[in-house]
Structure 1
Amino acid sequence: MALSTDRKIILITGASSGIGEATARLLATRGHHVVLGARRADRLKALVQDIQATGGSAEFHTLDVTDAEEVRAFVNAAYSVHDRIDVMINNAGVMPLSKLEALKVDEWNCMIDVNVRGLLHGIAAALPLMQTQRQGQFVNVASIGAHAVSPTAAVYCATKYAAWAISEGLRQEVGGDIRVTTISPGVTKSELADSISDPVGREEMRTYRQVSIPASAVAEAIAYAIGQPSEVDVSEIIVRPTASAA
């Protein structure tokens, strides 16, 4: 089965670092045009310059996925320029881990806002356009935490299970025109752990992350799903370290 080599217009949230950045770089090298969104404009500008310097095609917009209007404007801006949206990669996420007894309610709400509402905002913005086009693909980044819960990660895992459930519901609803893929990474080298303020959660994650994969490995999985022929829907990929116990 041959992979699709068609140039696609691909939107990526959370593109300023980690999996989002690695995915943008990889997809650009494969001839796609990437539209990058994140809060850190300086990081996005530098990334776009790097991509363009190596012959790739990219643009960026500052974006806070917790703001539904910003996400809608991000998607509509790309559509107005390119007249189509081929792939929406909902990648933005946060992971401030802590035990529930730490009562970090603000951090719980932040994870819900970014990991769940941010995903829904991406779907709400892009789905009507894809339905009008009668084609498109959502790639939603969940986590191995959608399948296995660990101490300090109850709320994070809940948000990632929600991401998995939303993706599966969307897949069943949209039928043959629109593809939906869930990517569930295991422990991946990224800046996600930098948001952990709780000392117990930070120490547990430091131990947990001794076995990890590079963000580029997750990017390859995303590229594989995008590259399948239009009649093939890769519903989920779990990608994790070979030595991972969970």
Structure 2
Amino acid sequence: MQKTRLLLSVVSLFSITLPIHAIELNNDLNLAITVTPITDYRVGGLSLTSGNPALFVDTMLTHSSGAFIGYFATNVDFGLKTRRESDYYIGISRPLTEDVRGSIMYIDYEYPKSSIVNYSEWVGNLSAYGATLWVKYANNIKPHGDDRLVAALDYVYPLPYDVTFETHYGITDSKDDVYISRDGSSRSTYYDWMVGFSKQIWGMTWRASYVDTDLSKTECAGIMGDDSVCSATVVASVSKTF
């Protein structure tokens, strides 16, 4: 049961970004379908595919007002019967000033055959000058209805040859002391980080990132059932938006 609770205390996949390429339906509506094969589905630095590859499919409908609605699906494998994650989201993204943009989004997560871990959360962020500060909150983490708060800072910086440097640093607060060390001490929070590069080639986004957390192998095994899925790794992906 502790393992189930942890799976729902990690940060979600989403960082609010509206698609650059999309199908124009009319003057106000655009539809974007993004397909992303990735070597490992890492959420908050933890693998939700037991270190194996995943395929992301995201469909987003955006309005000229900044409102959007969408559906995201991927395969998962984290010790329960479910092998699929389905996310339904709705939100709005608007410029607040010439240089600052704000977004808010509501996401509902569903895991077929393992509905005990279904949950929802609110996500808000502010972006300016390449930096994005975002916060995520859920108050119905099952099976005990626990609260969970995630905060993170992302930063992107353009480099020569159309390469983009990307970095991320986040903290997950599960409220309860679910991370237990070998010496018996426990804590309610952990940190994750990422450093990577991306590049546009042939109309696709190619990305390679180094991902890690500060969880020990004992803490990882205690909440994930596998001491290897919280360790440092390199994640590679390629995305195509239609």
TM-score, normalised to structure 1, is 0.35
Higher RCO by CA contacts (8 Å cutoff, separation 6 or greater):
1
TM-score, normalised to structure 2, is 0.35
* More strand per residue: 2
